[in-house]
Amino acid sequence: MIISYHFSFDDGREMSFNVDLDRHYDAAKAKKAASWTALDNNKCQNCPLSSSSHQHCPAAVDLDDVIRGFHGTLASTKINVRVVTQEREYVKRVTLEEGARALMGLVMATSACPVFGTLKPNARHHLPFARQEEYVLRSVSLYLMKQYLVWREGGAPDWELKGLVKNSEQLQMVNHAFWQRIMTEFQSDANSKALLSFFTMSSSMSSSLQSQITRMKNVFFTTE
């Protein structure tokens, strides 16, 4: 399954990225990857990978082309973005920061990183330019669907979302290390701001999940 991102700049520049949701770690490509993608460069504390089998971070390798494409462009630059999936297309005029955030989130979630891999169900039902409320609603809904399937198969479901919070805490550790890796190479530009906003959104799943869910009560219950 391929999801395509097309970026159109007002100065006439065009950039396109095709993201294969079912791709695997490409060891041959990794050998040619930039030095900043090395697994031991600000390696995540909770990374289960070994540099003997993965010399480079899978998520960093996959993001390298995207980051180099946007490097040096202001985060506030207005662009037109078209996202093409098998089912539909999305078109929106946004800042480069918002467009890059959507693309980078998809790339990381479908990389061979075992921690980012917990976001793959979200990626298969990708919603570009999602607001915070939409992100939380989709994440919780998908997690609860999985728990229902666990229950139906005779397992012990996690209706209290403890696993979701734990996954988010693991993601926070990865986010912090990944941010450090990016900043050592590219400093502050559209890429760093896009990643920071994505990380901030995902970290809220552990820091304030219950309060965010409470605020959504009005979606399901009417008050008189």
Torsion of CA 134, 4, 6, 205, to 10 degrees: 20
pLDDT greater than 70 at residue 206? no
Considering only residues 52 and 58, tell me which one the structure prediction assigns the higher pLDDT: 58
Does 107 score more than 80 pLDDT?
A: yes
Q: Span 169-183, mean pLDDT?
A: 83
Burial profile 10-22: b = 16 or more Cβ within 10 angstroms, e = fewer: eeeeebebebeee
DSSP H helices, 23-90, are: 27-31, 58-70
- In this predicted structure, the answer to whether residue 208 has a pLDDT above a threshold of 80 is no
- DSSP code, position 116: G
Mean pLDDT of the chain: 86
Q: What pLDDT score was predicted for residue 159?
A: 94
Instruction: Give the dihedral sign, CA 186/191/192/195.
Output: negative
User: Tokens at residue 176, please?
Assistant: 């912090």
* CA–CA dist 186, 188 (Å, integer): 6
Q: Which of 25-29, 57-61, 62-66, 155-159 has the lowest mean pLDDT?
A: 25-29
Is the pLDDT at 224 greater than 60, yes or no?
Answer: no
CB 60 within 8 A of CB 37: yes
In three-state secondary structure terms, 197 is helix
The band of 53, judged by pLDDT with boundaries at 50, 70 and 90, is: confident
CA dist., res. 55 & res. 63, Å (int): 16
pLDDT for 97 equals: 87
Q: What is the pLDDT of residue 2?
A: 94
Between 30 and 205, residue with greater pLDDT: 30
Q: Over the Cα atoms of the chain, what is R_g?
A: 18
Short-list 217, 198, 193, CA closest to 140: 217
Query: What are the counts of helices (DSSP H) followed by strands (DSSP E) for the chain?
Result: 9, 4
Mean pLDDT on 220-224:
68
